[in-house]
Structure 1
């Protein structure tokens, strides 16, 4: 594209930026939109999954066309001495579906191989010297300055295997915590894409963000071998998600920052899990109804309200990382998964009721009382 003037420039073609672009393309086609992505295609290299209850029925039109796999029969969890099937359907989106949808919807309004060097409320500068002049900018380039927050980390490495024989798994396994515990709370996550293709993700709730990829690769291979699965690795991915248990929102997103934000850069994710898809859908739908004038103040107010609502989840994160011994953290999740399915569903969607919050914290604690009280004495920021 030689003509780079637009009404709205979205910087970052990941999940949040992509959903905003799709929402505007569908609901406000009169807005001259430009989605700026530094990679060859938008979306990166990710699998995003969600439970049916994570997204409001009125908003499913935005995410459903991107779903690559759906399991209407529900999902499963495994802990030492305890297993459970839950009936809530599960869905997965991958980058191929997101990229295809954006390419079809945007055409020349999708600008790839574009590295951004400067962002201002009314323009964006690119590394090749071009300048985008725009009425409004949304910065959706992943996380902001996480040093302003107190975080644990959910980190993972995933392999998709094409097997020589059927794997025998009929539904997602959200947590297999029967594996040896390393580096915090460890579990394996399984997605059966078809009868011979399975995605195996080795995940850790860890105190540090560093990924020893070679070691985790070997653990995934050992897990597959123990299951009797042999085949070829056809896809790999890895990531580190913040599990926020405190910090200062006004430092993370300073009041004098003149650029609107979206996604993880705006702090729009579930603090206890790090998952951002439900919030990305809600935010994209909300943003499509907003006037382009005043987006920096409006998006910051939206994100500030989300931060306030997340206080309870930050408290849980503080207990997880501050009160539970790393090799015993699995007990917190094992206890949680004995609760009512509707409560579990609302938790993942970030919509826990007052009764839910009381129920999660009451009863026999899965962490030492003294450590829990010491952690709770100082509430999270």
Structure 2
């Protein structure tokens, strides 16, 4: 156990830093936790979503207080395949994240000063050390003129025109007349044209029979999709011997770019750690992140196939085929816990990309 009177300072009050602070405050009351955030709100302006299967049963206490919305299933829509999947799906809105943290944490400091801390959770490191594609998006809430009738989220609607890579629309029903609609692209470039995407979102809502007006949330993001790279160089880019979390540690799902499951796992591991000294935290987080990197080579290989072997306008076929697979396999995939048999199932059968091009993309990604 940590000695009474020990303090842990966390730099960055986003998802990763906030969950570590929460975990320590809840499970290690003998530790004085200080969370330092440069913005005016913990968590910024985000909607984070996750499947029930992303979070281990023993870690659910870490996310349960933050969940704003939950559904018992979700839909996917593709030109040649539609499916409803009976799997729990959850969303966290950053306003609730901020509220819960302020209620539970004894010390939150909003400060723009770059300070020394025990755990650094302030965004990405040097992305030039990594080989990347991009998952970029713009989402906004819409108040519809009448009840929209959606019961479950639409996690992927790829029946839309394929533009700028693999394009799909993501829809969350936050109320009977409130929708969060997001335009998402698996693109070769990180640029976003916010004005264009806003009009596409409104046009999509109209086509679905959900006319309305924008409400109080507009969110944009550009997430790195990790195809390959040098983990050691990435880690060194923000200091070799300091503890890190979130994308600062390179912790995200290589395909989805999502970081919430990793943020929960690391926060849980830190809360259980017997030694919370700066040196021990640095060793723990480095080992945790390096092991995750080594385990996820399969997903980076799939990224290489998606971005380097599939034509941009045909990338949707990769996901369309994937969503014909068994539900438990899909759940393990999103949790980055695919079994050997899962990987075989994903790769066997008629591939939606040319074999020769796929092999060349994989070999290039391994260099």
**TM-score bracket for the superposition, by shorter chain length:** over 0.9
Cross-structure match for 1:44: 44
Q: Distance in 2 between matches of 1:360 and 1:248?
A: 26
User: 8 Å contact 1:6–1:34 — kept in the other structure?
Assistant: no
Asked if residue 373 in structure 1 is aligned to residue 359 in structure 2, the reply is: yes
Q: Distance in 2 between matches of 1:334 and 1:16?
A: 31
The runs of 4+ residues in structure 1 deviating greater than 3 Å are none
User: 8 Å contact 1:314–1:380 — kept in the other structure?
Assistant: no
Question: TM-score scaled to structure 2, two decimals?
Answer: 0.95
Q: 5+ unaligned residues in a row in structure 2: which ranges? A: none
- The Cα of 1:343 is off from its aligned counterpart by 0.5
Identify which of 276, 283, 297 aligns with 1:292: 276
RMSD (CA atoms): 1.4
Identify which of 221, 224, 229 aligns with 1:247: 229
Task: Describe how 1:233-244 pairs up with structure 2 within 5 A.
Answer: 233-234=214-215, 235-244=217-226
Asked if residue 258 in structure 1 is aligned to residue 241 in structure 2, the reply is: yes
- The Cα of 1:379 is off from its aligned counterpart by 4.9
Q: Distance in 2 between matches of 1:300 and 1:116?
A: 25
Cross-structure match for 1:324: 310
Which string of whole-angstrom CA distances, capped at 9 and with x for unpartnered residues, describes residues 164-223 of structure 1?
101111100010000001100000000011111011000000001111111111111111
Task: Describe how 1:18-167 pairs up with structure 2 within 5 A.
Answer: 18-72=18-72, 74-107=73-106, 109-112=107-110, 114-119=111-116, 124=117, 137-167=118-148
Secondary structure of 2:321's counterpart equals helix
| More deviation, 290-299/327-336 | 290-299
How many correspondences in the alignment?
Answer: 358
Cross-structure match for 1:185: 166
Q: Distance in 1 between matches of 2:289 and 2:356?
A: 34
Cross-structure match for 1:203: 184
Q: Distance in 2 between matches of 1:230 and 1:350?
A: 37
Q: 5+ unaligned residues in a row in structure 1: which ranges? A: 125-136
User: 8 Å contact 2:76–2:157 — kept in the other structure?
Assistant: yes
- The Cα of 1:118 is off from its aligned counterpart by 4.4
Q: Distance in 1 between matches of 2:362 and 2:18?
A: 39
Q: Distance in 2 between matches of 1:250 and 1:116?
A: 28
Which string of whole-angstrom CA distances, capped at 9 and with x for unpartnered residues, describes residues 212-258 of structure 1?
11111111111111122222211110101111010000110029622
Q: Distance in 2 between matches of 1:299 and 1:17?
A: 13
Q: Distance in 1 between matches of 2:180 and 2:285?
A: 35
| More deviation, 38-47/256-265 | 256-265
User: 8 Å contact 2:6–2:30 — kept in the other structure?
Assistant: no
User: 8 Å contact 2:76–2:82 — kept in the other structure?
Assistant: yes
Question: TM-score scaled to structure 1, two decimals?
Answer: 0.92
Secondary structure of 2:236's counterpart equals coil
Q: Distance in 1 between matches of 2:363 and 2:162?
A: 28
Cross-structure match for 2:152: 171
Identify which of 283, 297, 314 aligns with 2:266: 283
User: 8 Å contact 1:78–1:176 — kept in the other structure?
Assistant: yes
Q: Distance in 2 between matches of 1:178 and 1:246?
A: 30
